Amino acid sequence: MRNIALKLMYNGTAYHGWQVQKNAVSVCETIQKALGRICGEEIHLTGCGRTDAGVHAERYVASFRTNARIPVERLPFAINTHTPEDIAVRAACEVADDFNAIGSCLRKEYTYRIYNSRIKNPFYVNRAYFYPYPLDESLLDLAASQFIGTHDFAAVRSVGTETRTTVRTVYTCSVTRSGELLELKVSADGFLYNMVRAITGTVLYAAEGKIRPSEIPEILESRDRSRSGPTVPPGGLYLTRLWYEDERLND
């Protein structure tokens, strides 16, 4: 039995997240159905992480086992023939037998995009969070930097999925501007439910003067969700980078 990894990307607007749902269409289910037709057997895909409804992925890795002998170089075209236009498999490769898309992932990076302009832009609908008031990116960046390090992130987590611990290590967290588009990038060894969207909401709270950037470490230490900012909408969130020991999966 072969173990195969797929490198893919998707626009998550039409999907109820990555994970298979009982009564809603998911990215995983859509690709699994395509693979089932191609491989002639039931396929179980393991993704590198859960993305919520409406969240996008510019980089995503999923793995599956199959007895089918279709050459890996033919898989992307075959899958893309059987999936909608908002999902695309970029590449496929055989991986070590002990490889698992989520268990073997060392680090992830998410990017949250904010369209900061007085005038709305229809081309950013469900692609970036429209914020019509002036924002100081240097203040946003200062607030974002307070999340770097190993902390208990319960204060920026929404209740939804059980987890053994709410402690995570954030390696980078910064905000940059390119014209009217702001990007908050955060990389970590793992993420809690809605963690990046709550971090973004907290950074925006700081920009609005509701908290000071220097208060963020204390808010994290309190583990009190009510003291941090709101969970911003999902359409601005993208999974943008992954790290694996197998470097073929890192581009």
Active-site residues: which are they? 52
In the chain, the amino acid numbered 16 is: H
Q: At what angle do helices 137-145 and 195-207 cross, to 10 degrees?
A: 130
d(CA 241, CA 9): 11
Cα angle, residue 50 at apex, residues 213 and 240 outer, rounded to 5°: 60
d(CA 81, CA 124): 27
138-to-144, 174, 175, 210 alpha-carbon distances in Å? 10, 10, 8, 16
Pairing of strands 87-94, 167-178: unpaired
Phi and psi for 236 in degrees, rounded to 5? -90, 0
The H or E element containing residue 116 is strand 107-116
d(CA 85, CA 154): 37
| Cβ-based burial of 218 (10 A; exposed 0-12, middle 13-18, buried ≥19) | middle
Cα angle, residue 56 at apex, residues 193 and 2 outer, rounded to 5°: 90
